Amino acid sequence: MTTHRAPASNSVTLEISGMNCAGCASKVERALNQAGIVQQATVNLALETAEIHTQEQTPVQALIAIVEKAGFGAKQREEDIRKARLERERAEAEDQRVERRTLYLLIVSAVLSLPLVAPMIGMIAGRDWHLPGLVQLLLATPVQVFVGARFYKGAFNALRHGSANMDVLVALGTSSAFGYSLYKVLQPGVLSGSHLYFEASAVILTLILFGKYLEHRAKRSTTAAVRALAAMRPDMAHRVDGDTVVDVDISELRLGDTILVKPGERIATDGVVTAGDSAVDESMLTGESFPVSKHEGETVTGGTINGSGALYIKTTALGEETRLAQIIRLVEGAQASKAPVQKLVDKVASIFVPTIVLIAASTFAAWIYLNGDINAAVGAAVAVLVIACPCALGLATPTALVAGTGAAARAGILIRDIEALERAYKVDTVVLDKTGTLTIGRPTLANIQAFDRNNERLLFIAATLQQQSEHPLAGALLRAAEEQNIRLGKAQAVKAVPGQGLTAELAGQQIAIGNKALMDQLGLSSLMAEGLIKTYESAGQTAVSVAVGGKIVGVLGFADAPRDTAAEALAELKQRGIKTVMLTGDAELAAQAVASQIGVDDVRARVQPEGKNAVVDQLKAQGHTVAMVGDGINDAPALAAADLGIAMGSGTDVAMEAAGITLMRSDPTMIADALDVSKATLRKIRQNLFWAFIYNVIGIPLAALGMLSPIIAGAAMAMSSVSVVTNAALLRGWKPTRK
C-alpha cells in the first residue's frame, strides 16, 4: 500500500535549529525560496523543519549553506530507518537534557528575582520600602547575563543577517530596563532603589524563560504521535534459515525472507503469513481496538503486535517501502505542510518586529515630549517591546496541525492534504461510491438461471471469460466455479467494454457477458432475460446477461451486502446536516434497493467510471462543497475533482494518492470522524490565532499608554505562547465519537 509519495530525488527535509518565532521561520523560508536552486520551501516552526523541493538535483550542502547564511543551523533529516530512529532517540535525549538545564536555570532565576519583586508585594500590603540599588544590581546581574545570554545571542545572529526576531525585542526591552537602572545606580547620591527597573528586566527574563520551558514541553507532547509510530519499528527479526532460526538486524532482511514472529512480539516488517494462526493488534495503524485474526495467506504490517500464536511470515516490503514507514512520511508531511490561513500569519510576522520597534521608539519619544518623565517613558517603551514578542503568532497554526494530525493518525485517519482541513469545515455533501465503500466490495453469485436449465454450463462460459478480469464480479464467478469444481476453458479475443462487460470467442462461438447496455449495443434482447433482470434488481442484485452465438442464454444475479456500519455512517452524516449521494454503475432498481436499506438521500445509478467526476463537478456547480469517498482506480478522478477526497484504506494506491484523507479501516462511520477531526483542528487554529493576536491587540496600546508595567507585559507575553501551545495540545485528547 502506498499512502504517500516517496521522497523524490529533488525533495529534501532539513532540520533547522535556532528558530524562536514566526519571524525566524519566515526568514528561513524566504531565504530558501529566493535562492535560484529552490522550487518551493516550507518551514515549520513547531517541528523545526524545512521541506524543500528543488528544480533539479541539488547538493544538500548548498541548501544548508543558504540556511546558515540566514543565521540558522541546518542538517539533513536521516532517511535510513534505523539511523533515523537512532537520530530521533538522540534528539529526544538532547531535548530532555536542554529541558532539564532550562528548568535549573529557571529555578535559579526565580530565586534571584523573587527579592526584587518583594517590595512590590509589600506595596500591595501597604508597606513602602525598597531594596538598596546595589543589592538590586547584584541580584539582577546574574539573571541578565546567564538567562539573557540566549536572547542576546539570538538577537545578534538575527541582526548580523539583516533581520529582527523575538530575541531582538526581548534583548532591547530588558537591556533598556537594566541599562537605565545601572546608569541610575552609578549616579552619585542614588542610595535607594526607587525608580529602578532591575526587577522588570529580571522578572521579564524569568517569565519568558518560564514560558519557553512550558512551550517546549507542550511542543514535545504535540509531536508524540510521530515519535510513537517511529518507536514501533523493531530493530531485530528472527529469520528462518532452513531448519534454524537466526536473530538478525532488521537491515539485513531481504525480500522473500521468512521470519518467525513469536507471541507478544512486534512484527518486524510487512509480509504474508505462510504458516501459523494468531490475532494481531493493529490499533496503532487502524485505531481499531479489537485484534484481527491472521491465517495463512493473509497480509500483516510491520510494527503491529502479534497475539498468542506464532506466525511465519514471508517479507514483501522493507525499509522505506513498508506501510508504517509510508504512514510516518504521510503524517510528517502533513504536519510539516502549511495551511492556507498561515499565509496571512507569515505576512504579518515578516513586518511585525520592525513595526514593534518603531512603536516602542515612538512611545518613548511621546512620553518624553508630553511630560518629560524618563522613568515613565522607559517603562512604557519596555512594556511595548516585551508584550509584542511574536512567539504565539508563529506557533498558532503549526502546533494545532501537529496535534490534530497526530490525534487523527492514532484513530486510523491519515490527513495528507492540509488544505483539506479548511475545505472539510464547509462540506455539505458527501458523494459515496457504492462498491467497496458502502458495500463489502466482495460480491457473491446469488442467482444463476440458464434458459436451457444447464446452469453449470452457463457458469463455465461466464467464468472462463472472466479469468483475466480484475472486476469484483469476475472474482465472484471464479469463486463459484471453484466451489463447484468446474474446470475452465480458454477464451480467445477477449475484449473489455468499459462499464458494460466483455466479449470473446469460445469454442468457435461469439460470447458476450454484460449489462443491458452491452446487450442493446449488440442488438440482443429477450423477454425472459428482462423479467429475470427486473426481479434480481428489485432485490438489490446486479444482473448480468450471457449471450452465446448472438442469443441471450441466461442471466446471473450478484449480491454485494452493505457494510454493517453503512446505515449508521449515513445517519451520522445526516445528523451533521450533510447530504449523501450514492454513485453506482448498477441499474436504477438495484441501486434504489440498496439505498433503501442504508438510507442514502440521493442515488445516481448507471454512472460510468468516467462519469463520477462529472457528478462531482455538477454538485460543485450547484454551490455545494463536496467530499468524495471511494476506493478504486475509477474513483481517482472524482476524488481529485472533489473539494475533499476521502479514500478507504482497503482501496487502491491510486485512490489514496488522489485523496486528501485516507481511512485506514474500511468503516464508513470514519467518514464523519474524519470531518470531525478536520473541523476540530481548524477550530484550534482559529482559536490559537485569536489568542496570539488578542494579547498584542489589547496589550500593545495599554503598554504604550503606560497602563501596563513591564513585568505584567512579560507575564502576558509568556502566557500568550503557553496558552496557544496548551490549547493546541488539547487536541491530543480527540477521539472518534464511535470507537
C-alpha dist (Å) from residue 539 to 471, 533, 595, 600, 649? 21, 10, 12, 17, 29
Task: Name the residue type at position 660.
Answer: G
Residue reference for cell 492556507: 340
Are the beta carbons of 356 and 384 closer than 8 angstroms?
Answer: yes
Per-residue exposure over 653-670, b if at least 16 CB sit within 10 Å of its own CB, e if not? ebbbbbbbbbbbbbbbbb
Rounded to whole angstroms, how far apart are CA atoms 67 and 87? Answer: 21
Q: What does the DSSP 8-state code read for residue 434?
A: I
Residue reference for cell 532603589: 193
Rounded to whole angstroms, how far apart are CA atoms 337 and 11? Answer: 13
Phi/psi of residue 224, nearest 5 degrees: -65, -30
Q: Which three cell numbers stand for residue 687?
A: 482559536
Phi/psi of residue 549, nearest 5 degrees: 60, 35
Rounded to whole angstroms, how far apart are CA atoms 700 and 695? Answer: 8
**How far is the first Cα of the chain from the last one, in angstroms, to the nearest whole number?**
24
C-alpha dist (Å) from residue 526 to 310, 517, 538, 606, 639? 57, 13, 18, 20, 38
Helix or strand holding residue 87 (H, E) = helix 81-124
Rounded to whole angstroms, how far apart are CA atoms 63 and 31? Answer: 10
Rounded to whole angstroms, how far apart are CA atoms 224 and 625? Answer: 33
Q: How far is CA 27 from the centre of its chain?
A: 25
Assess whether 428 carries a catalytic annotation: no
**Could you give the strand order of the β-sheet that contains 299-300, starting from the edge strand earlier in sequence?**
244-249, 236-241, 258-261, 311-315, 271-275, 299-300
Are the beta carbons of 386 and 714 closer than 8 angstroms?
Answer: yes
Query: Exactly one of 433, 586, 635, 673 is catalytic; which is it?
Result: 433
Three-state secondary structure string covering 104-125: HHHHHHHHHHHHHHHHHHHHHC
Residues noted as catalytic:
433
